[in-house]
Every structure is written in C-alpha cells, then in structure tokens.
Amino acid sequence: MASTDALLIITGSMGSGKTTVLSEASDILSVRNIPHASIDLDALGTVHLPSSVEDNQLMYRNLRSVWENYAQVGLRRLLLARAIEDRAELECCRNAVAGGKVVICRLTASIKTMQDRVQSRELGTLQGSYVARVAKLNSILDRAHLEDFSLLNENRPVTDVAHEMLVRAGWL
C-alpha cells in the first residue's frame, strides 16, 4: 500500500468548520506549491446501504483506494476532514492511509455558533436531527480527546485559522 509522509486530520463537531478550513488550507498549500491532497471524508461515505453492510468500513475502503491513486502520482501529504469519534475510527484512518506522522487538529466554536451554521446549511429533511447532533457530537469529541491541538474557529478569518493549523501541524 502507498504510504503518506504526513496526514493532517481536521476534526470537530458539525458546524465547527472542518470543510471550510480544509479547503482554505489546501488553497494555502497550493499557493505555496506544496503538493498535497485534501479529502472531506464524509463525501466518500455518503451512502445508504443494505443493513448487512457497515458504511464506515466502506468509507475507509474508499479512502484507501483514493489515497492509493494520489500516492501513485507522488503525493505524500493528505489533509483529511472528519469528526473522529474514537480511537477505533482513528485506527481506520491510519490503516487506510498508512505511513507517516499523523497530526489531529480539532476545530472548536460555541455550541450556538455550530448549531447556527448547521441550521443555515442543512435546509432539508434531517435539519433538526443534525442541529441536535452538534452538542452530542461535541461531547463525544471532548471525551475522546484525540486531538494534538485545538483551534477556535469563531469570529476569525478562515485564512488565519487554516494558516495557524498548518503552522502548528508543521506543514508550514
């Protein structure tokens, strides 16, 4: 399997800004001509399967396949956005993207801010359950405490948050 030199996982509750910071961090690296890939892991796992298939395992198989394709063209750095809830899921990430140093950055904001963000972007059928999940997921992440460092992502320009994350992760 292709390995990575560096994996930077951006975690946090729903509405913490994982996808936005992922995109901005990728832009910062691109402007500096630093080869990398960025993946919002939820996008690889958006599926409704028969009950006999475990969707997280399929998502991590997808990640392994995508990462192998990127690694075949020489990429060795991966930015990954995903709310990592426990050590078992962290191991799934590590196994899918074998290799180097793993750094985990947790994005934080007030529960109200995160709920407001989720409410404004999730306009459909599951809006209420997603808004309700914000506080629950935040508590799960508090207990798991998997992050190497946390960054406040509230009332700050996204460029500042992404830049600080890349510096603290040792990528800049």
Alpha carbon 25 to chain centroid, angstroms: 12
Provide the residue range defining the domain that includes 44. Answer: 4-168
**What's the number of domains the chain is made of?**
1
pTM: 0.93
Q: What are phi and psi of 102, to 5 degrees?
A: -110, 125
Name the least confident of 30-44, 48-62, 107-121, 141-155: 48-62
d(C-alpha 89, C-alpha 95), whole Å:
10
Predicted local confidence at residue 2, as pLDDT: 58
Residues 5 and 76 sit within 8 Å (Cβ to Cβ)? yes
Predicted local confidence at residue 123, as pLDDT: 86
Helix (H, G, I), strand (E, B) or coil at 34: coil
Indicate whether 118 pLDDT > 60: yes
Side-chain-side CA neighbours of 13 within 13 Å: the count stands at 28
Query: What CATH number is associated with residue 62?
Result: 3.40.50.300
